[in-house]
Amino acid sequence: MVRASIDRGQRGALETVLQMTAVEDKAYYSVPADGAERPVAARLGDRALFLISPSIVGLHDAEARRVATDSATGVTVYSTENLKVLSVKEQGNTFLLKVETGKYVKVRPSEAVKEKE
């Protein structure tokens, strides 16, 4: 009984929840204005990710899987298996950044952007 009371009092320190999806993630990426130079959108390890297009794609946050978080910007990089958002060809070299709830933009590493050109 005493142990249960102690555990309840320390619940915040003893329990952690790791969210692997974009649900409740509030770190949003700001899409540069049209015509503005597109800098590095985020980093995935040592790879720089660049915005493919400012076009926004819709995706339920529960379908966006967390890949990594850019430590410099705090923006999370996501992937999805939803073929309406990322085609089979895009899987593995195209990622998503959240711009608001249920809305994302596509980004790619610089070497993948060069391959497409």
Where in the chain are the domains? Answer: 19-116
60 DSSP assignment: -
Q: Tens digit of pLDDT for each residue in 51-88?
A: 998 899 999 999 999 999 998 889 999 999 999 999 99
DSSP string of 38-65? ----EEETTEEEEES-S--EE--GGGPE
Contact of 102 with 56, CB cutoff 8 Å: no
- Mean pLDDT for 19-39 is 83
Nearest CA-CA partner of 57 in 113, 102, 108, 27? 102
DSSP, collapsed to helix, strand or coil, labels residue 66 as strand
Is the pLDDT reported for residue 43 higher than 70? Answer: yes
